[in-house]
Structure 1
Amino acid sequence: MSHMIVFASPTLDGAYAMRDALDDLRAFDLVAVKDAAVVERLPDGAVRVRQSFNLVGAGALGGAAWGALIGLVFLSPWLGLAVGGIAGALAGRFADIGIDDAFIREVGEGVPPGSSAFFLLIDNWEQSKALRLLADFGTTIIHTSMPPDEEARLRAFLAAAEE
């Protein structure tokens, strides 16, 4: 079962540092991440969202490959490559997988200016090891989709790490 956890960081770089630490956990197969995102609330109040998966780039690459292949059939691979790349990029731009973008923006509007939030959608994780690493960042939990007992244990662990 997937769980979503949203961590708030008091700095703009805090969420990025958590994302980088999570990449280390993923390299050792201690966490299975379905999606992750970082939202920054800049000092001027603007919200900037950074998704972990670039669907526009992936769509453009896939579309270009298929377009070139179909273009070979019609003896115009370059035209097929261009049309397929544009179509794939547009499809990637309007696709949404993982964490809902509207929810990310909504939470981003709620964090104080000059801070950030880290969104994490996980399938399973080695909770004790992951929590020890994530406790070093001084974050608080904004939202989870975990069962109440697991959420309470997570919040208690992070509160004890702050002391």
Structure 2
Amino acid sequence: MSDLIVIVYPTEAKAEEVRERLFELQKQYLITLSDAVIATKNDAGKIKLNQLVNTTAAGAVSGSFWGLLVGVLFLNPLLGVAVGAASGALGGAMSDFGINDAFMKELSGSLQPGNGALFVLVKEMTADKVLKEIAGFGGVVLKTSLDETKEQALRDALQKASAAPAS
């Protein structure tokens, strides 16, 4: 079972810095991520999701390949590529991997413009080591599916980092 963790940072750049650190920790086998998305809200109130995988582009590439293959069989490869790319892009745009986009947009509605919310779907992690690595970045826990003791440990570690510059 995966755990969802959402942490709000003062800027999108800070959220991206934490996401990059989590990727480094994944290379060290301290955490296994299913998804890691950064959500931001602009001054007009529009929510933007910075996802790892652009499913529309991936679908278009895959569709182009299969369209070319089918097109060669029917002696019209250009038409096959065009139809394949269009159908692949449509299929990619309609698919949703990892964290549900509608859920992220709804939860991000409470963000202040300029803030960055890091949505992380964690399969497995060595909690004490990962927490030690990300605590220094600060942030505020918005939502988690962790049990109460783990969630409180996360909140405490992030709060200490946020309070440290003020003292």
Q: Distance in 2 between matches of 1:101 and 1:110?
A: 15
Structure 1 portions without partners, runs of 5+: none
Q: In structure 1, what is the equivalent of residue 85 of structure 2?
A: 85
Residue 43 (structure 1) shift = 3.8
Give the conservation status (yes or no) of the 8 Å contact 2:137–2:158.
no
Per-residue deviation, residues 135-162 of structure 1 (Å, max 9, x unmatched): 1211111000112222122222323344
List gaps (5 residues or longer) in structure 2.
none
Is 1:98 aligned to residue 98 of structure 2?
Answer: yes
Could you say which residue in structure 1 is the equivalent of 2:143?
143
Shift of 1:25: 1.3
The structural deviation recorded for 1:44 is 4.3
Q: Deviations over 1:47-83 (max 9, x none)?
A: 2211111111111111111111111111112211111
Residue equivalent to 1:122: 122
Secondary structure, in 3 states, of the residue corresponding to 1:65? helix
1:15-94 maps to which residues of 2 (within 5 A)?
Answer: 15-94=15-94
**8 Å Cα contact 2:41-2:113 kept in structure 1:** yes
CA contact (8 A) 1:3 1:146 kept: yes
TM-score (norm: length of structure 2): 0.90
Query: Equivalent residue for 1:155?
Result: 155
Q: Which amino acid aligns with 1:91?
A: G
8 Å CA contact 2:9–2:140 kept in 1: the answer is: yes
Distance 2:24 2:110 in 1: 29
Report the Cα distance in structure 1 between the residues aligned to 2:14 and 2:75, rounded to whole angstroms.
Answer: 52
* 1:7 counterpart letter in structure 2: I
* C-alpha RMSD of the superposition: 1.5
Q: Equivalent pairs: percent with the same residue?
A: 37
Tell me by how many angstroms 1:130 deviates.
1.4
2:29 & 2:71 partners in 1: Cα distance? 41
In structure 2, what residue type is equivalent to 1:39? A
Counterpart in 2 of 1:7? 7
Q: What is the number of equivalent residue pairs in this alignment?
A: 163
Distance, in Å, in 2 between the alignment partners of 1:157 and 1:136 is 8
Deviation at 1:108, TM superposition (A): 1.6
Aligned to 2:98, the other structure's residue is in SS state coil
